[in-house]
């Protein structure tokens, strides 16, 4: 997991995990990915140390939404300006850019702190 470098600081040795997303439910897959990115699957988990793995996702265009989520669910974006709220139906998003659906789900399952952007950079989606 961690080893000492020449300066005496611990350096994190990250493993690369490849996940095939074919016929996987978006929410369940996103929680699994979030745990791996945080490093909660490791015995030496410490909340303030970012020791998670690098995650590669294959076949994202084959993920599944259960129930009526394809018709009812909407993703929101904002420019933080008056009238800057944009709504996009998940059915349209799944056809055009299914990577964004999974990325959005994983991002909002990670803690909202300074490690969130670094963890999201380790999520690699292969088309």
Per-residue pLDDT of the chain (127 residues; tens, 9 = 90+): 566 666 666 778 899 999 999 999 999 999 999 999 999 999 989 888 888 999 999 999 999 999 999 999 999 989 999 999 999 999 999 999 999 999 999 999 999 999 999 999 999 999 8
- pTM value is 0.86
- Considering the domain boundaries, does residue 113 fall inside one? yes
Q: How many Cα atoms occupy the beta-carbon half-sphere of 58 within 13 Å?
A: 4
Alpha-helix residue ranges (DSSP H) falling in the chain: 26-38, 69-72, 90-96, 98-107, 116-121
Q: Is 121 part of any domain?
A: yes
SS3 59: coil
Q: Quote the pLDDT of residue 13.
A: 86
CA distance 104 to 52: 19
Q: Tokens 């690369």 belong to which residue?
A: 16
Cβ(21)–Cβ(59) below 8 Å: yes
Q: What is the pLDDT of residue 6?
A: 62
Count of structural domains, the chain: 1
Both tokens of 53, joined, read: 């793995």
Asked, for residue 11, whether it belongs to a domain, the answer is: yes
């Amino acid at each position: 997991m961690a080893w000492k470098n020449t300066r005496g600081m611990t350096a994190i040795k990250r493993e690369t995990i490849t996940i095939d997303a074919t016929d996987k439910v978006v929410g369940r897959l996103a929680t699994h990915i979030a745990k791996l990115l945080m490093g909660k699957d490791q015995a030496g988990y410490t909340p303030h140390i970012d020791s998670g793995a690098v995650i590669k996702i294959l076949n994202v265009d084959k993920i599944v939404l259960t129930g009526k989520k394809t018709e009812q669910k909407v993703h929101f974006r904002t420019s933080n300006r008056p009238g800057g709220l944009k709504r996009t139906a998940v059915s349209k998003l799944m056809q055009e850019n299914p990577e964004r659906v999974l990325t959005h789900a994983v991002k909002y399952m990670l803690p909202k702190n300074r490690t969130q952007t670094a963890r999201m950079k380790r999520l690699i989606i292969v088309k």
